[in-house]
Structure 1
Amino acid sequence: MSHRTEPAVRLEVHTREPFAEGHRFGDTGAYEVLTATARYAVDPDDPRVPAHRAVPDLDLAPRDDTGLVRFSGDVEILRPVGGGRRRLFFDWGNRGNKRALQYFCDAPHTNRPRTLADAGNGYLLRRGHTVVFGAWQGDLLPGDGRLLLNPPVAGRNGRPVRGLTTAEFIVEEPTDSLPLSRWSSTRSSPVSERGVHSARLTRRRYAHSAPEQLPPDTWRFARTQGGGPDLKGRSTALVPSRHDLHLDGGFRPGWIYELVYEAEDPLVLGLGLVAVRDLVSHLRHDPASPIGPVEHAYGWGRSQTGRAIRDFVHHGFNEDLEGRRVFDGLLPHVSGAGRLGVERFTNLTVPGGQQYEDHLSPADAFPFAYAESVDHLTGARDAIMKRTSDPRVLHTQTSTEYWQRRGSLVHTTTDGRDLGFPPNVRGYLWSSSQHVADPAAGAPAKGVCNHPENVVATSALFRAVLDALDAWVSEGVEPPPSAVPTVADGTLVTMETWSRQFPAVPSALRPHGPNELYPVDRSTVPPVADRSRAYTVLVPAVDADGNETAGVRAPMVAVPLATYTGWNTRAPGQGHGALHEFSGSTFPFAATEDERLVTGDPRPSIQKRHPDAAHYATRIRAAAEDLVKRRLLLAEDIERAVSLAARWSSPRHRVDLP
């Protein structure tokens, strides 16, 4: 067993420069931006750290002559020059991208924030937070300014580790070659030499459809190269590749392709959780930290990184090597009931399983809830939160998570009874909103769906949630009570009940149900779902307009111009009728009563609800003020909500009324 003689992380600062040309953000003052590399050293045999047992293949990672596993990752820090409020805010960068300024400050997305425009409304900086962007995802490729982690490759005494794995491919436009990872940003698990000859490729119409095997002579491990100008004009070539798949005639939209093959050289991806633990601990406690004293540390992640947060807590990584709490508070957003899953050959970029896409993703496995519960199918008992080192958590999710990501299981038992949250957790449904809500969204588009996407604006809710978490941790002020649908009050219902509630909206192709969840045997490749048994997945109840009754209603939902849903259905030729990824829908109300009568719309028209746009804006103001009273919106966001409502919330809505 090795004996540690050095810190778990060394931070090498490369650059230090003024941020936003020295602009002063309120009482906090000016900021600077630091870029750095974190050098990590992990002792796999340290008996003090049971969390390391949750890192698959750590025992197969190469070690140096002191017995330590070494790797490195990118770090960038926005630091208040005057020290700020000694709050560390860690952005779990979604797929290597910096997202905190975009969602908390309504800023344009960039992976190189340097200008005043990149600060948006400056919320995080006016609050004096030190914003830390640290790489944790180890299978990303360089490009677009992504943060990169460089974990080791598992091996056995110089010999490669091999095993069967699956890759799923769904395209919206025909293409003949794809990386095995499906994502150009993501490293593929390479096929072994033997796997080239033993792999099999199938396709199916829907996740539940029987697969049909494609003849081996119609596809190969290769990629198409060329097509653009070269020295002799334009030409293409088919290049053998252990990282890519080529299909003669191309992949067709509307089909799910599934490749089973023997891969090799798995990355030790679980070290990403180790990296976050050790980096944040270093920044908090090490006298050599470049950000000075830190009183409280918070972390935020959305979707993929919300799942990472839940895994981080579940496996005990919120306790550092000295037994100290790492994060005092965490904000997992739109994770649904999922966790990350870092099994061998996992593709971390792949989203959690959805009804049509990535349906065999390992993201959803018991335990789903923060509170202790029993898996009624297996008898297992577990919880996300179960340690004295656990942080305080404000879990937020949208309607989409109830439809696509089994969100009800966050606060119910596996057979659909109310469970609630433990004392150190609160949960909030952002009613009738969708998984991704770009603060700068314009007019809605359909894409490959039947309906225009959901236009509900929710970014202001992030700011209120972080303020509430800070007050809870630093001052002991209880956050607003949980606001989620429940079985007891009739706001969390079965699909049958929801179908009776949802109005007969003209042109709406309803889903046939939420994304169900079955126990999966992962000892087989591909995994096999036991469809004879199921976990109970419930959805939020809706009112006569089709908008959800429970949760936190953003002003646009409290005073609607449409029915807003967390689901959207795929268009013909694209898996028609199945739920589409994480997309919601907007079903506008009829502008006038005459239009309503012609279309047979049962919902009152906008003309019936509001005599003019000024009346609409006045009601939006009242809805925003009510949220402020409940500490679910900041006072500064009242005027932003009213401004957004100008001209009938154009361009998100088009209302043909004076």
Structure 2
Amino acid sequence: MALTRLDIETRKAFAGGSSFGDVGRYEQIDGVAHFAVDPEHSDHAVIADIGLAPRNGGGLVEFSADFRIVKPMDNDHGNGRLLLDVVNRGKELALKNINSAPDGPPDAVPHPGNGFLMREGYSLVWCGWQHDVPDAAGLFRCNVPNAQNEDGSPVSGRIVVSFQPIADITTQFLSDREHRPYPTNHLESWDSVLTVQEHEDGEEKVIPRERWAFARVVDGRRVPDAAHITLDGGFEAGKVYRVLYETSHAPVVGLGLLATRDIAAWLRYGDADGVGTANPLGGAIGRAYAYGRSQSGRFLRQMLHLGLNRDESERVVFDGMLPNVAGGKMGEFNVRFGQPSSLSNRSVNNLPPFLDIDLGGEDGILAEVTRHGVAPKVIYTNTSSEYWGGHGALAHMTPDGSADVALPDNVRSWLFCGTQHAPASLPISDTNPDTGARGTQALNYVDYRPLMRAALYGLDRWVTHNEEPPGNWYPNHADGSIVETSELADWFRSLPGVEFPRHHKVMRRLDFGPDRAVPTVIPPDVGAEYPSLVSAVDADGNEIGGVRLPAIAVPLATYTGWNVRHSDIGGVGQVLSPGGTLAGGAIPFAVTRNERLATGDPRPSIEERYGSREEYLARVRECAETLVASGYVLAEDVAVLVSQGTEVYDAIVGVSAAVAADD
């Protein structure tokens, strides 16, 4: 097997030794996994630059990755399922996004949240796959070699780094989110180019070379620095900057895909590593699933597209996958000079295929795994933000947007109506406390995590018992639930104080040259725009083309997958997209009829809709129970949804007003 050594550094009780139902206590194992793969293996030909990676004496390419395993103390008490949580920029996500664990820094003690995954008996694994994760405690990184020319010299080439600040700044690090940068080869190069745009799709203007430098500002002075740039007068909030330059640091980024494949394969099939360390899950795993959210969901789509769901012995690795909020995109996960965290609209992460199947000679996401006979069951879950981001609908329609495309029988796709990219919660605020990003409307606070628990449960029943999960539910032409973004502009602008985006996220046809893994056209040639289609809405402005949680079906507000940048952070009229993914919005209803009439709000007020707090909560419960009956929610989460409804009602109406209404 490609995993050669599992170095276990710590082994301890998980969650302070807490017991989880019939499964009992869990343990946590941390360390470093070492790999060696054959670059000549036919399945590895898809890995960019693997042929240029240095080899050991046996002709193999070596690399390593941080890992963590959380498993039952007694493997016999587990459910025989492995869940690999693909880390997002080095961070674990399943405990937060499936178990509803609270936010915390990467180096915090892992929190079990509501314990759902543990009570179900899952064994969890996290493994680093991203080469440029910062040096910070608690993050999982994959350490890969750099590509070399035949003479041993480093591979050089051009790269573009894009950024959009939310505040005026003087200096910019040449990376996304403080990740390890690609330093410039030439501090004084006049071939390097810096451009600026008013918004992502705006006119690109070249900034004169004498106005900027590869440097950082220290005590008011420019200090030459290959990993920073600075601009006379500074970089303005809300504007989009792109810097083109040459670098000679070319890590073999795609080896992270093999690390993910091979640690799961070894934990599923292996007995011991190459030095005799026993597999902590040896003989205990009958099924394996992969979960990924956002970046890591797109990572799973790319893994499928490359056919990497079988190990070197041609055994199936993952029986099921759960890509969450990946939309129709992949990423810079297998490309020379890849920036895996970048969400630039001029990136290879915007290239097709978007669909699972071949269409008109165009490649499909599932084409290779289907050809190999190793296609997993897949449940895609997306929010409104992926559709308003310009790519969600491309995963189930023709590229021109004119017709629906049927999904394969082994695939389900669900839109979570009215939700935003990241699971949200109270309090009601227009500002993200972590990023400082501010919207013109309150940020979306709909929590869709109960739907994720049901999705995993349904995936497991589908794989193990062939019980069909609920059907596809997403915006489509057949039932008229899909529209152009522009069709909703007048309705939203009719609401008092509401801004509708003047500049939307769009996807365009891009040409990087004949080989997407080793681009030769940098920056790419930019072509025509893909259609941007989203869910239609009801009379309250809430989406109808997917699964409607009680927050949407029994509403107290209009919820959107988009928001508009506040003037405080620049980029007026642009969608709010901290980190490149859309933040959603919430536009609460007026509490009383008089308040509604005073502002001219066309939507009925809360008092006009619901006779009392009790009536409202009864309708929330009824909606939740309907979702249970259809398989989109688990019975145990009815109480969770009612509790969420209670908190939002009290936050909008106010406890005193709620009591008065009850009287």
Q: Please give the TM-score of this superposition, normalised by the length of structure 1.
A: 0.91
The structural deviation recorded for 1:484 is 0.9
Among candidates 451, 469, 474, match of residue 459 of structure 2: 469
Instruction: Measure the CA separation in 2 of the matches of 1:437 and 1:652.
Output: 19
Equivalent in the alignment of 1:592:
592
Instruction: Measure the CA separation in 1 of the matches of 2:469 and 2:40.
Output: 40
1:419 aligns with 2:418: no
Counterpart of 1:528, as a letter, is: D
Instruction: Measure the CA separation in 2 of the matches of 1:144 and 1:624.
Output: 40
1:410 aligns with 2:395: yes
Aligned pairs for 1:8-157 (under 5 A) are: 8-46=3-41, 49-50=42-43, 52-83=44-75, 84-110=78-104, 111-112=106-107, 114=109, 118-156=111-149, 157=151
**Contact in 1 for aligned 2:390/2:507 (Cα 8 Å):** no
The structural deviation recorded for 1:208 is 3.1
String of CA shifts for 1:468-487, please: whole Å, max 9, x gaps: 00100111111111111110
Equivalent in the alignment of 1:223:
216
Q: Percent identity?
A: 37
Instruction: Measure the CA separation in 2 of the matches of 1:648 and 1:254.
Output: 32
Instruction: Measure the CA separation in 1 of the matches of 2:58 and 2:162.
Output: 41
String of CA shifts for 1:533-580, please: whole Å, max 9, x gaps: x33331100001000112111121111100001111223362111222
Return closer, same or farther for 1:385/1:588 CA change in 2, 3 Å cut-off: farther
SS at 1:85's partner residue?
coil
**Contact in 2 for aligned 1:191/1:262 (Cα 8 Å):** yes
The structural deviation recorded for 1:501 is 5.8
The structural deviation recorded for 1:53 is 2.1
Among candidates 175, 180, 183, match of residue 181 of structure 1: 175
SS at 1:206's partner residue?
coil
The structural deviation recorded for 1:496 is 4.4
Equivalent in the alignment of 2:523:
526
Aligned pairs for 1:601-612 (under 5 A) are: 601-612=601-612
Among candidates 238, 261, 267, match of residue 277 of structure 1: 261
SS at 1:324's partner residue?
coil
Moved more, 285-294 or 505-514: 505-514
Counterpart of 1:191, as a letter, is: T
Equivalent in the alignment of 2:539:
544
String of CA shifts for 1:153-172, please: whole Å, max 9, x gaps: 11112212111111112111
Equivalent in the alignment of 1:163:
157
Return closer, same or farther for 1:543/1:121 CA change in 2, 3 Å cut-off: same
Instruction: Measure the CA separation in 2 of the matches of 1:263 and 1:123.
Output: 46
Moved more, 76-85 or 637-646: 637-646
Return closer, same or farther for 1:652/1:149 CA change in 2, 3 Å cut-off: farther
Give the gaps of 5 or more residues in structure 2: 273-278, 432-436, 514-520
Instruction: Measure the CA separation in 2 of the matches of 1:313 and 1:548.
Output: 30
Instruction: Measure the CA separation in 2 of the matches of 1:409 and 1:362.
Output: 16
Counterpart of 2:97, as a letter, is: Y
Equivalent in the alignment of 1:488:
478
Instruction: Measure the CA separation in 2 of the matches of 1:104 and 1:195.
Output: 49
**Contact in 2 for aligned 1:444/1:652 (Cα 8 Å):** no
String of CA shifts for 1:416-469, please: whole Å, max 9, x gaps: 21112100000000001100113x542232443211111111111111000000
Instruction: Measure the CA separation in 2 of the matches of 1:652 and 1:406.
Output: 33
Equivalent in the alignment of 1:613:
613
String of CA shifts for 1:262-305, please: whole Å, max 9, x gaps: 11111111111011111100000001221232001011111111
**Contact in 1 for aligned 2:554/2:619 (Cα 8 Å):** yes
Among candidates 357, 364, 369, match of residue 382 of structure 1: 364
Counterpart of 2:522, as a letter, is: V
What is the RMSD of the two structures over their aligned residues, measured on CA atoms? 1.9
**Contact in 2 for aligned 1:445/1:453 (Cα 8 Å):** yes
Moved more, 101-110 or 79-88: 101-110
Equivalent in the alignment of 2:275:
none
Return closer, same or farther for 1:521/1:654 CA change in 2, 3 Å cut-off: farther
Instruction: Measure the CA separation in 2 of the matches of 1:106 and 1:480.
Output: 23
Return closer, same or farther for 1:648/1:35 CA change in 2, 3 Å cut-off: closer
Among candidates 283, 286, 289, match of residue 270 of structure 2: 286
Instruction: Measure the CA separation in 2 of the matches of 1:592 and 1:258.
Output: 49
Equivalent in the alignment of 1:231:
none
**How many residues end up aligned between the 2 structures?**
625
Counterpart of 1:270, as a letter, is: G
The structural deviation recorded for 1:648 is 4.2
**Contact in 2 for aligned 1:502/1:542 (Cα 8 Å):** no
Counterpart of 2:574, as a letter, is: A
Among candidates 289, 304, 308, match of residue 317 of structure 1: 308
Return closer, same or farther for 1:61/1:398 CA change in 2, 3 Å cut-off: same
The structural deviation recorded for 1:238 is 3.7
Instruction: Measure the CA separation in 1 of the matches of 2:58 and 2:524.
Output: 39
Return closer, same or farther for 1:648/1:136 CA change in 2, 3 Å cut-off: closer
The structural deviation recorded for 1:400 is 0.6
**Contact in 2 for aligned 1:113/1:119 (Cα 8 Å):** no
The structural deviation recorded for 1:652 is 7.2
Q: Please give the TM-score of this superposition, normalised by the length of structure 2.
A: 0.91
Equivalent in the alignment of 2:276:
none
**Contact in 2 for aligned 1:613/1:647 (Cα 8 Å):** no
Among candidates 237, 258, 261, match of residue 242 of structure 2: 258
**Contact in 1 for aligned 2:503/2:574 (Cα 8 Å):** no
Instruction: Measure the CA separation in 2 of the matches of 1:414 and 1:497.
Output: 20
Among candidates 411, 414, 431, match of residue 428 of structure 1: 414
Instruction: Measure the CA separation in 1 of the matches of 2:243 and 2:603.
Output: 46
Instruction: Measure the CA separation in 1 of the matches of 2:623 and 2:310.
Output: 41
Instruction: Measure the CA separation in 2 of the matches of 1:653 and 1:135.
Output: 45
Structure 1 segments of 4 or more deviating over 6 A?
Answer: none
Return closer, same or farther for 1:344/1:652 CA change in 2, 3 Å cut-off: farther
